[in-house]
Structure 1
Amino acid sequence: MLNVALFDKTAKEWREENKDLKGNMRDYASLNELLVLANMESFNAILIEKGLEQKERMIELRKLARNQMLSLEKLNKGNLKQLEDKKK
């Protein structure tokens, strides 16, 4: 479920699309994606404790993934700009 929420595909779909690659989709994920996945695992456990059904959890997990990926991308862009400014 977490793979679908973040990558929009199941592990099986990824394997079928990437037959030439060894390992699994998480082996090829970016650092940001792995960080978001770890956060999603914790958040999913909280949602399960609260009694949310899978469909509701998927909606919340997709929101979390999107928001965190956007935030991390902004941070990365800001850090790159700071590094470029320091070089000058």
Structure 2
Amino acid sequence: MSSQVVPKHAEVELNTCPFDPRFPNQNQTKYCYQSYVDWHRCTRLKGEDYSPCEYFKKCYKSLCPNSWIEQWDTQIAENRFPGKIL
């Protein structure tokens, strides 16, 4: 058996999106939704490999509940998403 040292308190770095003056309130629902829409717009215009699009994905992944993302992904797949994605 190998002896492996495991730190008692491993540091975890948490990040979220920076302040956006378009969404100054505590409720970040609109910021979540807009980041989701912006990510889809960006990837459709520039392609999935365009790294600046990852900013929007990071934002919606950190701000939006997973259930919303799953619902929106289903709506996009079924061509019934209510937002305007080019």
State the TM-score, normalized to the length of structure 1. 0.30
* Structure with the larger helix share: 1
**Higher radius of gyration, 1 or 2:** 2
State the TM-score, normalized to the length of structure 2. 0.31
